[in-house]
Amino acid sequence: MPDTNESHGGLRLRFESIVDQAADRASAVGDALFAFANLLDSRPSVRRALTDTGRTPDDREALVRRLLGDRMEPAATDVLAAAARERWANPGDLTSSAEEFGLQAVLLAARSAGRLDDVEEQIFRFGLVVRGNRDLRSALIDRAAPADARRQLVRSLLQDKAAPETVALIEHAVLDRRARSLEAELARIADFAARLRERRVAVVHVATPLGVEHRERLERVLAVRAGGPVLLNVVVEPDVVGGIRVELGDEVVDGTVTSRLDAARRQLVVG
């Protein structure tokens, strides 16, 4: 769900209602919201005008509708008009919410099509590929390269291998991630997908693949720790020497032999 604070709970519910009524066009709604977030990023004067508390909510909504006219997906215009009526702590919060609603719209489209599990897995795996290929990562994050060239690179990599929502979300991560690293943005999107399914993501680093019984036992243990269902994303890394390393949100549980040896060495140095 978007990271709007409690005062914007009504806006979140309004967004969900609008997108539910336009479920067959949710991906287009997401694309339109991404485009509007980019517009706000590039035009500070528009961003300030739409968050100016000196204007009435009706005035701010009218400004959105005049600005967008009939050039945007109608459901996206309705979402943005509702957002413009809110009071925002600072202008950048409106931009962030438009972008987060865009992410959720694309993920809702995937869920409606029965592809949410696939999208979640594909984004995670793409992140692993990026992390393991320095040349590819450099090409994707090179802001000096034309946006169309980087977009085409993403499409060539994913052609016939990924859901359309995966392609849209990865293109967004590559081209419009703002101040985050590409890896952080991909992880953020995967987390949004998990939260939409009301579960948390645990990234598990092991030296060899987990057996079915071991995986199920680990899922149960982590579900208790997380207070709810957990999705395991398993990363096989030969450099992991024995044991297991688990990342559950901001929490890291490192039970590898390497980490235990490092801890023992630190104790010897202190002693």
For residue 218, the one-letter residue type is L
Question: Residue 112: how many CB atoms within 10 A of its CB?
Answer: 16
Q: Which residue has the higher pLDDT, 246 or 7?
A: 246
Q: Does the pLDDT at position 5 exceed 60?
A: no
Q: Which two tokens stand for residue 99?
A: 């972008």
pTM: 0.73
Assign 251 to helix, strand or coil. Answer: strand
Pick the closest to residue 215 from 253, 223, 254 (CA basis). 223
pLDDT mean over 223-248? 76
Taking only the tens place, the pLDDT of each residue in 48-67 is 999 999 999 999 999 999 99
User: What was the pLDDT predicted at 7?
Assistant: 54
Dist CA 172 CA 61 (whole Å):
26
Q: Which residues contact 116 (CB under 8 A, 6 or more apart)?
A: 107, 110, 193, 196, 197
pLDDT mean over 72-90? 93
